[in-house]
Homo-oligomer: A and B are copies of this chain.
Amino acid sequence: MKKIRISKAFTLMESGPVVLVTTHDGKNNNIMTLSWTMVVDFTPRFAFTTGPWNYSFAALKKTRECVIAIPTVDLLDKVVGVGTCSGADTDKFEKFRLTPVKAKHVKAPLVKECLANIECEVVDIIGKHNIVVLQCLAAYVDTTRKEKRTVHAVGDGTFIVDGRRLDRKKMMESKLPAGL
Contacts and interface: CB of A to CB of B under 8 A. Distances in A.
Interface of A: 8, 10-11, 14-17, 35-41, 45, 47-49, 73, 76-77, 80-81, 83-84, 124, 126, 128-131, 133, 149, 151-176, 180
A38 B11 CA distance: 16
A160 B165 CA distance: 4
Contact of A158 (B47, B129, B161, B165): B165
Contacts of A131: 40, 47, 126, 131, 133
A175 B16 CA distance: 20
Given A36-B39, A84-B171, A129-B47, A161 B166 contact: yes
Contacts of A39: 35-36, 49, 155
A135 to B, nearest CB: 11
Given A84-B171, A162-B163, A156 B180 contact: yes
Stoichiometry, as copies per complex, reads 2
B35 A40 contact: no
Contacts of A170: 157
Given A124-B128, A154-B165, A161-B163, 13 more contacts: A11-B155, A14-B152, A14-B153, A14-B155, A40-B131, A47-B131, A77-B168, A84-B172, A124-B129, A126-B129, A157-B171, A159-B166, A161-B165
